[in-house]
């Protein structure tokens, strides 16, 4: 697991040689292959935990890990609880918590946007309701004014008829201004 404890070997992932000066891990699975630290996909913290045996878990390469979970003979191992202090589990939990935090922020933002839209829709709805009331009031006012116009037209027509009836046309009197004045005074 550490540098300098074995002769040069081939990395199970990249197929390059692992020298005495390079950090590497041995797969605890059936392949038993050695892997460069960078080829394991582990963080520095995880690698050190496996290297210094700070975890009860054994490191498995990707192939052995997949085979172990798909193998029916290892079903009991797959159902065994995995300790949460396993470095890879901690990283997974941290990633999941970050994703949940991001989702929560997005949901909060979307909720705020939805509330804003609902307030806007409510304001538009209220304004529309007021405009409809105003429109109805104006329709009624126009109808009243139209009736008033009809009434006034009828009154003007009657007044014109009355004025025509009172107009007397005198014919046959010529040029005597005194008579014209007396006639005007009479009527």
Domain for residue 4, yes or no?
A: no
Q: Residue 17 sits in which domain range?
A: 9-80
Same domain as 183, residue 95:
yes
Question: What total of structural domains would you count in the chain?
Answer: 2
CATH number at residue 25: 3.30.40.10
Q: Look at residue 165 and tell me if it is in a domain.
A: yes
pLDDT in tens, the chain (187 residues): 444 455 778 998 898 998 888 888 888 888 889 898 889 888 888 888 877 776 677 888 888 877 766 654 444 444 445 555 566 677 888 889 999 999 999 999 999 999 999 999 999 999 999 999 999 999 999 999 999 999 999 999 999 988 888 876 666 656 655 656 666 666 5
- Give first-to-last CA distance, the chain, whole Å: 136
**Residue 128, by phi and psi: left (phi above 0), alpha (psi -120 to 50) or beta?**
alpha
- Asked if residue 2 belongs to a domain, the reply is no
Q: Judge whether 127 lies within some domain.
A: yes
CA gap 13, 24 in Å, rounded:
12
């Amino acid at each position: 697991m550490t540098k300098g404890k074995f002769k040069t070997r081939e990395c199970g992932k990249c197929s390059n040689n692992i020298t005495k000066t390079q950090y590497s891990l041995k797969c605890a699975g059936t392949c038993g292959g050695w892997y460069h630290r960078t080829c394991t996909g582990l963080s520095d913290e995880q690698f050190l935990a496996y290297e210094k045996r700070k975890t009860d878990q054994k490191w498995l390469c990707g192939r052995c890990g997949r085979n172990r979970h798909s193998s029916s003979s290892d079903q009991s191992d797959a159902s065994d609880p995995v300790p949460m202090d396993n470095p890879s589990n901690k990283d997974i939990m941290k990633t999941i918590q970050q994703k949940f935090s991001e989702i929560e922020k997005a949901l909060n933002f979307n909720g705020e946007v939805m509330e804003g839209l609902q307030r806007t829709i409510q304001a538009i709805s209220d304004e529309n309701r007021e405009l409809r009331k105003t429109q109805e009031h104006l329709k009624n006012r126009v109808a009243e004014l139209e009736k008033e116009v009809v009434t006034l037209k009828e009154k003007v027509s009657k007044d014109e008829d009355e004025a025509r009836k009172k107009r007397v046309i005198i014919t046959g009197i010529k040029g005597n201004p005194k008579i014209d004045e007396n006639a005007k005074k009479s009527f």
